[in-house]
Structure 1
Amino acid sequence: MATDPLVLDGLDAFYGDSHVLHDLSLRVRAGGVLGLLGRNGAGKSTCIGSIVGLVRAKAREMTLYGEPIQGLSPERISQKGVGVVPQGRRIFPSLTVHENLTVAARTPSREGWRGWSLEDAFSAFPRLEERRRQFAGSLSGGEQQMLAIGRALMTGPRLLLLDEPSEGLAPQIVAEVARVLKELSRTGLSIVLVEQNVKLAMEVADDVVILNNGRVAHAGPVESIQTDGELVEQLLGVY
């Protein structure tokens, strides 16, 4: 029986004494894209931080391919196959494109991992190959986002988490990000996409979870919001 790449059941997360996420539950299907949506402050990034061990959290269940990850260090969770594209990109500006990618490279160590090479990264983002010797800090915002995604893929993840990858990008770059995410999903990579860009989420996601004030306000297949503009407007303020 297949095991879901990520299962969160009854997740509560905290910043100091502040209770930010309340009884949050979600699951990511194998090879699926889960769109995690919500207004600013809804708890989306806190959810990502909880998964990777950067935010204090507790849950009835928190598993990666059936293995408990609750309480593990961020390093250990990464080693188990979780790749992260953080909000704000956080590339290494004083390193070249080539160095940013190779510093993250990891040899697959267990069955089911996919190894990524420089050729794979350059195939996904040809523009990076053109700039492989350029310092990352001199790239455009869109190119830096491509680099951040490529760097995460060089870790050979089984689960990829992206936090607001379209933030501040021109529409043509957002379209390129969407293309890459759809291609990655077709290869079997499971993805959690945190977004405020509802159109992007509708284009690439299979399932969606909408957060409101740290709680799940809606969960279902992406079609459930594609056909219900009133729901999207009510929960996200856009349509």
Structure 2
Amino acid sequence: MSELSNELTIERLASLLWVTLNRAAKANAMTVDMMERMTAAIHAAADDAQVSAVMLSGSGERVFCAGVDIREQPADGDMARQRQRRSQALAALQDAVMDCPKPVVAVLNGTASGGGAMLALLADACVAVDTAKLSLPEIDLGIATFSGANILEVIGGRALALDLIQSGRAMRADEAQARGLFCAVAPRDHLIVKAVEVGEALGAKNPRTFAENKQWINRSLKAALSQARDEHARHRELARTES
């Protein structure tokens, strides 16, 4: 499996499928097409006996992913419909990460923020460069993030959600590792080696048992995200009727 493009690279190296965001000049922000192709790649990997784990990474040395590209202009000019497309594409990508029976490892080459941070948190493991940061800064943009809040609350509890969601601050890699959000932190010249080590170790586990454990572990997270998405949809409808 190999796919190269200006915005996304998908290629298998040994038993690991690498899905790399390739928009460093745009903070690796994800377009609808990119999210749909990432989702398709993860689904395909689930059925590919030659793939043991999926690795999500970003190009450049500054940003892993700044979330969805809210400035993307739709071909039909319908911005309301475009917001719905973004939400649906992001939800499908998040579900693909959580539902994939194989390990999904986030490899943070830089800062993960917004939807990018959520993607990293939903992965089975997150390996980060020592200069990476994690942030959900939506509050400083005047945007509520019900999904981000629920993800953090399920993963780390109310205190962690209050800390990052309500402050909007960027958490450094060493603190994220200490709080269990990153499984490993490495210097840049050792990041890929460490990520491969983690991916291969998880990929070597009994596939059926890993998948069953993952499904069970993620049940509360999936329920919380479903609730958050309903709330986001309610807010979008309110905004539409009030405009």
Tell me which interval the TM-score lies in, with the shorter structure as reference length: under 0.3
With a CA cutoff of 8 Å and minimum separation of 6, indicate the structure with the bigger relative contact order: 1
TM normalised by structure 2 equals 0.28
Question: Which is richer in strand?
Answer: 1
TM normalised by structure 1 equals 0.28
